[in-house]
Amino acid sequence: MHAVTKILVVFCAILCLLLAALTMAFAANADSIVRGHKSMEAALRAAETAAKNDIAQYAQERVNHRSEMDKLQNQLSQLNSQVASLQSDRTSLRAAAEQAAAEAASIRGQIGQLTATTQTQAAVITNYHGEVTGLRQELLAATKREIELVDRLNDLESAREVLEQNSRALKEQLEEAKLAMQSAGRTGGDTSASDPREAPGPLIRARVLEIVKSPAGEDLVIISEGANRGVRPNTLMHIVRGSDTFIGSIVITTVEPGQSVGRLNLYGRQNVQVQRDDMVLSRLTW
């Protein structure tokens, strides 16, 4: 037999022994190997499940990160827009500030001009005030002089009226004296000087102020004119109403400067009454 063949036979015998040993070892450890394989498969499945879960979680986290990135991108865009808007506002505000500064400078200039104008006007007003004060004092003095002159004129007018009334009264008395003398010459003294007579001279007009009773029961009429208008005691006057209604007559018994009292005579007419504001005439003009 060849040497190589012998060597091969020896190797084959050794391999057979090794295979027998391995077969015996495999037979002895088969259950543990199966259990290990199953454990490995379970571990593999668990690992696969964990890997799938990790992959799903990673995918969700990626989606979340993508969403957050989109939000951040939107926020960044908004911030960029706000920055651009703020820059535009800053530019506008800067321009407005420059314009306001220019306007403030203009206003300061105007204030200076107005201050100068105000000072000038104040000086003018002061001068006007002095002039107005002087004019007011002159006006007051002139008014005072005018009042004094008016008072003096009124006094003179009153004195003139008194003198005219006295003159008229003297003329009337003179006329009465003349008439009395003429009447005495014509009648030989038959007519008594105490008989009531109408007042000569200008027509005297008065108004009835009041109707009263005397202590003797006679009707007395108070009229609105007296000695100042030439009314004298024992003067015969007539009461009329309207323009053509004769009421009665009165004989003056008491005379005062501004009013008189006369005894009423209705000539027996009981249906006639004297009223306030009836007209009283020194003579009838019908």
- CATH code at 249? 2.40.30.230
Task: Extract the tokens encoding 217.
Answer: 């029961």
Q: How many distinct structural domains can be found in the chain?
A: 1
* Residue 116 vs residues 25, 105, 123: alpha-carbon distances, Å: 126, 17, 11
H/E stretch holding 221 reads strand 219-223
* Residue 78: burial class (beta carbons within 10 Å; 0-12, 13-18, 19+): exposed
**263: in domain:** yes
Q: Flag whether 30 is in a domain.
A: no
pLDDT along the chain (286 residues), means of 10: 73 81 71 73 79 81 85 88 88 88 88 88 87 88 88 82 64 58 52 72 93 90 93 93 87 94 90 92 80
- 246, part of any domain: yes
Distance CA 110, CA 88 (A): 32
> Residue 208 falls within a domain, yes or no?
yes
Domain-located, residue 228 = yes
For 158-173, what is each residue's pLDDT tens digit? 777 766 765 565 566 5
**pLDDT tens digits for 5-40?**
878 777 788 888 878 877 776 666 666 766 777 777
C-beta atoms surrounding 231 within 10 Å: 24
3-class DSSP state for residue 175? helix
Can you give the length of the chain in residues?
A: 286
Identify the domain containing residue 238 by its residue range: 197-281
Evaluate whether residue 240 is within a structural domain: yes
| 3-class secondary-structure state, position 188 | coil
